[in-house]
Structure 1
Amino acid sequence: MSGAGLAEEGESEGYFASVSDLMVGVLFVFLLMLTVFALNFRDDSASLDRLRAELQRAEQAAQLERANAEAARAIAEAARIEAERQLAEAERQSARARAQEEEAARLRAQNEMLRARLQEAADKLRRELADREAARNALLQRLARGLEARRIQFILDPRSGVLRLSDAVPFPTGGSDLTDTARRTVTALGEVLAEVLPCFSYGAPRQNCEQADIPILEAMLVEGHTDRQPFANMTAADSQARNDLLSTARALTVFAQIRQQQRVLDELRNPSAQPLLGVSGYGQRRPLPEAMTLSEAHLAQNRRIDLRFILSARTSDEIRRLLEDIAALQQGGAR
C-alpha cells in the first residue's frame, strides 16, 4: 500500500473516530439532560401533587366558607323574617292597645253619662218620694182636721197610711149592720172624704185644694175586721171563713153608705184611670197590736173599720224618660 493510501485511510479513521466521539459526547449530553429532565420532572410532579392537594384543600375550605356563608345568610334571612313578624305583631299590639284605649275612653265617658243619669234619676225619684210622702201626710192631716171638726174619734198611723175608726164605727158581735151613731159617723166620714180626696186623685173637680196637692193615690180601701171569737158549733177553719165573710160585709156596709151619700167618690180615679175606692176583708187575721187579749174591750176594738190610703207606684214621665236613657246606655255598654 502506498503512503498516500495509508494517509487517506488514517485520515478517514480519524474522522470517524472524531464523529464517534462527538456522537458519544452528544449522547452523553443527551443522557445527562434526560437525567436532569427526569429529575426535574419528578420534582415538578411532586410539586404538582402538592399544588393539587393544596388546591383541593383550598376548594374544600372555599366550599366550607360558602356553606357557612349560606348558613349565615339563611340565619340572617330568618332573623329578618322574625324581625318583620315581630314588628308586624308590635304594630298589631299597638293598634289593639289604641283600640282598647279608645274603647276604654268610650266606656268611661258612657259610664260617666250613665252615672250622671242614674244620679239624676235617683235625685228625681227621691224628690218624687218626698213629695208623695209630704202629699200623703197632707192628705191624712186634712182628713184628721175634718174628722176632728166633726168630733169623730179616730187613730191615725202616718207610716202605714191607715185611718182607724174602731170606736167611731162599732159593730156588735157577729153583726155587720150600722147603728144609728155609726151611720151618722159614716155620713160625716163621707163628707170629709168628698172634700179631701179629689185633691189627691183624678176624675173629680178640684175644689179648695192647695198648690202642693198632687194625685198620689193608687187606692183607698175600706177594710173590715173581726174579733177572734170562734163561731159556735164550727171548726176553726169554718169559723175563720165565716169571719172573712163578716169582715167583708162590714166593709161593704160602710162602703155602700159613703158612696150612696157622696156620689163624687165614685168619680175618683187613680193614675191608671181605675176607680179609687175599694173594699177588703181581713177577718180575724189582723188584730190590733194593743188589743190581743180576749177581753170584751179588746174584742170590741178589733170589730172595726180601717181606711187604708195606698200611694201610687207609677213614676212620672220624667222618671220614665230617665230610666229609658239609662237602659239605652246600659245596652250600649254591653255590646
Structure 2
Amino acid sequence: MSEHNLLEDEGAGYLISVSDMMSGLLFIFIITLVAFIINFQDAIQKQKEITQTQKEIVKRFTNTDQSRSELLLLLKQKLEDQNIVVEIDAEHGVLRLTENAIQFETARASLDEKNESNLKVIGRVLDAIIPCYASNPPTFHNCEGFEHFQGKIDSIFIEGHTDNVPMKSYKYEDNWDLSAARAITAYRTLVPDTVLNQIVNTNLQPIISVSGYGEGRPVEGHSYSYPQSDPTNRRIDLRFIMTPPSLTDVQQSISSEAGR
C-alpha cells in the first residue's frame, strides 16, 4: 500500500471517530434536554397545584372572616331590637358593650340593677344564636337555617377593661385585678340560665372564657397621657374566634413540597 493511501485510510478513520463522538454527544444532549423539559413541566404543574391550594386556603380564611362579620352584624341587630346599643369591630372580631349597653362605675366591678338587666338581655341574645355555631348545638335548640355554621366558632373571650386611673384598694390590687373582676362579673351574669357554658368547640373545649386587660387596650380615641376617668374604657368586649380552616392531607403534602 502506498504512503498516500495509508494516509487517506488514517484520515478516514479519524473522521469516523470524530463523527461517532459527535453523535454520542448529540444523543446525550437530546436526552438531557428531554429530561429538562419533563422536569420543567413537572415543576410547572406542581407550582399550579401549590398556587391552587394557596387560593383555596385564602378563600377558606376569607370565608371564615365573612362568617364572623355576619355573626357580629346579626348580634348587633338583635341587640338593637332590644334597645341595647353596641359597637362591632369586624376586623378583630369584637362586639363592644359600650357605656350605652352596660356601664361600670369607677373602681367597681359590680353592676347596678339596670346594667345587670341589660347584661342578662345580652346573654339571652347570645344564648339564642351562639349554640348554632358550636360543634354540639343542643337538640332542643332551634338552629333552622344555621346548619352550615355548626362548628364554626372556636371561642368567645369576655374581656374586661378599665380606664387609666391608678387603682389600689382593699378589694383590687390594680387595674389588672379590676378588669379581670369585671370580666368575671359579666361571665356570671351572661352565662347562668343559658346553655352557653355547656357548648364546646371542635376540640371539645368550652367556648366561653374570661380575660382582663387592665388599661392596656383603650378604645381608639380614648388613650390619654394622664389619668382620666373615662366611662368608654370601663367596658366589656366580647371577642369571637372562629374555627380555623383545616388542610386536607393532599393540601398538607403540597404545602410541604412547597417549603422544600
TM-score (normalizing by structure 2): 0.81
Shift of 1:111: 2.6
> How many Å separate the matches in 2 of 1:192 and 1:109?
56
Gaps of at least 5 residues in structure 1 are: 1-65, 234-238
Shift of 1:103: 2.2
Larger Rg: 1
Counterparts of 1:97-136 in structure 2, within 5 Å, are 97-136=29-68
Counterpart position of 1:93? 25
- CA gap of 1:165–1:87, structure 2 versus 1, over 3 A, is same
Counterpart position of 2:250? 321
Deviations 1:140-197 (A, max 9, x none): 1221122112211211122221111131222222221222222212211111111111
Select the residue among 180, 193, 211 that pairs with 1:280: 211
Select the residue among 171, 193, 196 that pairs with 2:129: 196
Q: Residues 226 and 303 of structure 1 are in contact (CA less than 8 Å); yes or no, is this contact kept in structure 2?
A: yes
**Quick check: 1:169 aligned with 2:105?**
no
> How many Å separate the matches in 2 of 1:88 and 1:195?
85
TM-score (normalizing by structure 1): 0.65
Counterparts of 1:129-278 in structure 2, within 5 Å, are 129-167=61-99, 168-205=101-138, 207-211=142-146, 213-231=149-167, 242-262=174-194, 264-278=195-209
* Paired positions, count: 251
SS of the equivalent of 1:278 reads strand
Gaps of at least 5 residues in structure 2 are: none
Residue type of the alignment partner of 2:26: S
SS of the equivalent of 1:309 reads strand
Counterparts of 1:31-110 in structure 2, within 5 Å, are 69=3, 80=13, 84=17, 86-87=18-19, 89-110=21-42
- CA gap of 1:216–1:208, structure 2 versus 1, over 3 A, is closer
Q: Residues 219 and 310 of structure 1 are in contact (CA less than 8 Å); yes or no, is this contact kept in structure 2?
A: yes
> How many Å separate the matches in 2 of 1:78 and 1:245?
100
Select the residue among 205, 222, 241 that pairs with 1:291: 222
Shift of 1:246: 1.4
SS of the equivalent of 1:280 reads strand
Deviations 1:20-77 (A, max 9, x none): xxxxxxxxxxxxxxxxxxxxxxxxxxxxxxxxxxxxxxxxxxxxxx9xx59x76x975
Indicate the RMSD between aligned Cα atoms, in angstroms.
Answer: 3.2
